Amino acid sequence: MRYLELLGKPVVAADGTRLGRVTELLAEPRQERLCVSGLRVGPASLLRRVAFKRSGAIPLGHSEIPWRLVARIDDRIHLSVDGPTAANHMQQEHPVNIGAELPE
């Protein structure tokens, strides 16, 4: 799976709660390659990305979802947790990065 295949995909919790669309992927080095460690979703994340490119300013309140919460990917990204649990994780400024690799 490639970056552009995930960008813009809707993210839904296990109970069907819609959390937004992927605006960015978070990655960290793992041996000699970059591996996905999380997703940024929703309008605040998109605003952060656009504002940073234009002015260097970073708006607060972006939503990051740790990659470990991803259960499966098809036309949407499905999380293994319900909406309230996902929202709890999304409030963290720096979620735990586990360096999971993208599924093939």
Q: Which two tokens stand for residue 72?
A: 């499966």
Angstrom distance (rounded) from CA 68 to CA 70: 6
Q: What is the mean pLDDT of residues 34-44?
A: 83
Closest listed residue to residue 79, CA positions, set 59, 48, 90: 90
- What pLDDT digit, counting tens, does each position of 50-62 carry? 555 454 444 444 5
- What pLDDT digit, counting tens, does each position of 20-35 carry? 899 889 999 989 988 8
Domains of the chain in sequence order: 3-90 (2.30.30.240)
Pairing of strands 77-79, 18-30: unpaired
pLDDT score, position 44: 57
- Mean pLDDT for the chain overall: 77
Asked if pLDDT for residue 70 goes beyond 50, the answer is yes
Percent of the chain clearing pLDDT 90 (strictly above): 43
